[in-house]
Amino acid sequence: MHNFKKLKIWDESMLLVSESYKLTRTLPEFEAYGLTSQMNRCAVSIPSNISEGSSKSSDKHFNKYLEDSLGSAFEWETQLNIAYNKRYLSKEKFNELEQKIKQIQKMISGFQSGLKL
């Protein structure tokens, strides 16, 4: 078992949740039940799966939750691209957030590689 609050991947993904909520507050109102909701659910899913998986009794079971977390990270990246393509955010903000999500994806993958499966 791992203490999720001591995991850098959890810390970084919690910061992404804040960034996601900050970004989605700027999206058009008509996106409230679409892109806004989906982006925030995905962002929340990343650290949620890390914390839930950390309670499992084996690294094999934890890895399944890390896979789900990684999937949500890729899904969030896709939604970020959609938001950018719709011109809901600047190129600079897009680049900043894209770099953050890619870093989280690498961190999760790297953490998975260190597990004893």
Closest CA to 66 of 84, 78, 82, 54: 54
Mean pLDDT within 58-87: 96
Closest CA to 76 of 30, 44, 52: 44
The percent helix, strand, coil of the chain (3-state, each to 5) is 80, 0, 20
Q: What is the pLDDT of residues 78-94, one digit of tens each?
A: 999 999 999 999 999 99
Answer CATH for 31-113 from 1.10.3430.10, 1.20.1440.60, 1.10.260.40, 1.10.10.60: 1.20.1440.60
Give pTM, 2 decimals: 0.94
Q: Where are the domains of the chain?
A: 31-113
The three-class DSSP label of residue 114 is: coil
The pLDDT of residue 1:
64
